[in-house]
Chain A
């Protein structure tokens, strides 16, 4: 190794010939091609780890399910008469269950839509019940960070038309974002980062973040509960999207009508909810899914 390195030293000097440089370059390239693979292959995990991986139990719950695909796959291999009987049975069961089930689902979505929740996740999120919490004071990032035990993340990318907060109580100097901290029922801190959307003159773009916990399940955005009333009985559009490899997000576009910080009349709020690195994030704002994804992917 050491001897070969000498060849690398030589061509650094000025005035070397082109041939020399190429030869030396080739030498250096040759060293990399020869030694790096050997080095790479020398990085090996412990045998105990490999054994642990082999025995690793995969979680029973999966985000989304391929149940439908599995059923469809096996369906074709069933005998025709079994398929006919099973179809009749399914129609029978669905007719009864449908009435009850649809009603229950409508009620659930009504709640979800009213409070502006993005949807259900496989893990519990934050629960506010009863009256909406009182508005929390506005803080700077440093002040907010000093009050919570997790690193607060903010997006590096923001949609065009985001203004600065100034002449607002609690904001000492013009700021791109303001922070508020609220407490959940189970005592966790919920950080709300708000951005001023110039078009509406309100904090329409908000990022909520808190730690994952084991309490039950819905994320309720209390502000929407206070200021908005749902236009429909359920979000108009929902879907699961891949935020980044291995991180899925729930997205919902909800319609609202009412008055408040958003102004008068109908409006649409788009919500994105995901979990990442032990944290729950909830992003809402009057933007397209693509735009929200860009914001969400830029968190740092």
Chain B
């Protein structure tokens, strides 16, 4: 979290938000927004989409917050909402791309326009090689490795956020490391 809360403070905020306290929910938004944005961005590679997804995710979370029983897992629950929304958007993007491709019958034109191409992950030149290598990873592998090293999650926490078994996440992490190593070695 970017603005740290103790577990107890967070549970108090969640309980108040479940009772309809919008200020409490706004505080939760403030605490979690940065991480959620990064997750969305890691999957979508696009600022506008990432912002939309985070906003939609908070609204969805607010609507279904009353159904949350395990308050201690609020963070991974929020993460999983963002991951699901982002994946929906990726699916939609793929569909749009196929639709446009069918309509124009010219995928090359589409690519050259760059309308649907994924933007670079970040602009800092300092990280350009690492960024390029991470950018080449499949999106879920990218997210796994970023959450592991960037957010400091363990594989269990990542598994809960992605809604996948921990064994699968460990394998993805290992594969992602291997792919990164290969990409960086090519440099």
Q: Chain A residues in contact with chain B, CB under 8 A?
A: 1-2, 5, 8-9, 12, 28, 32-33, 35-46, 49-50, 52-54, 56, 58-59, 62-66, 69-70, 73, 151, 240, 242, 244-248, 276-277, 300
Q: How far is the CB of A56 from chain B (nearest CB, A)?
A: 7
Contacting residues, chain B, for A59 (C-beta < 8 A): 59, 62-63
Residues from chain B with Cβ under 8 Å of A12 in the complex: 185
Residues in A neighbouring B129, C-beta threshold 8 A: 1-2, 5
B30 touches A8 (CB 8 A): no
B187 contacts chain A at the CB level, 8 A cutoff = yes
- Residue in contact with B146 in the complex, picked from A40, A58, A66, CB distance below 8 Å: A40
Which of B4-12, B109-117, B164-172, B176-184 lies at the interface?
B176-184
A70–B64 touching, CB < 8 Å: no
Contacts of B184 in A (CB 8 A): 5, 8
A46 CA / B46 CA spacing, docked (Å): 12
Number of interface residues, chain B, beta carbon within 8 A: 60
CB-CB contacts below 8 Å: B31-56 with A = 33-34, 37-38, 41-42, 47, 50-51, 54-55
Measured between beta carbons, the chain B residues less than 8 angstroms from A2 are 129, 187
CB <8 Å contact, B38 and A43? yes
B127 touches A56 (CB 8 A): no
Q: What's the Cα separation between A43 and B123 when bound, in Å?
A: 9
**Contact call B130/A1, Cβ cutoff below 8 A:** yes
- Known contacts A63-B64, A66-B66, A246-B81, A39 near B134 by CB under 8 Å: yes
CB neighbours of B122 from chain A (8 A):
39, 42-43
Contact A40 B38 (CB under 8 A): yes
C-alpha gap A65/B64 in the complex (Å): 9
User: How many Å from the CB of A150 to the closest CB on chain B?
Assistant: 9
Q: Which residue of B lies closest to A57 (CB)?
A: B22
The reply to whether B92 and A277 contact each other, CB–CB distance below 8 Å, is yes
Contacts of B87-104 to chain A: CB distance below 8 A: 88, 91-92, 95
Closest to A39 in B: B127
Cα A64 to Cα B18 in complex, Å, equals 11
Q: Which residues 112-141 of B sit at the A interface, judged by CB distance below 8 A?
A: 121-122, 124, 126-127, 129-131, 134
Q: From residue A29, how far is it (CB to closest CB) to chain B in Å?
A: 8
Say which residue of A32, A54, A70, A276 sits within 8 Å of B149 (CB atoms). Answer: A32
Within 8 Å CB of B181, what residues of A?
A: 8, 28
A63 to B64, CA, bound (A): 6
A-chain residues with CB within 8 Å of residue B145 when the two chains form the complex:
32, 36
Residue of A nearest to B42 (CB): A43
Task: Assess whether A63 is in contact with B63, with CB atoms less than 8 Å apart.
Answer: yes
Q: How far is the CB of A214 from chain B (nearest CB, A)?
A: 17
On whether the beta carbons of B61 and A246 are closer than 8 Å, the reply is yes
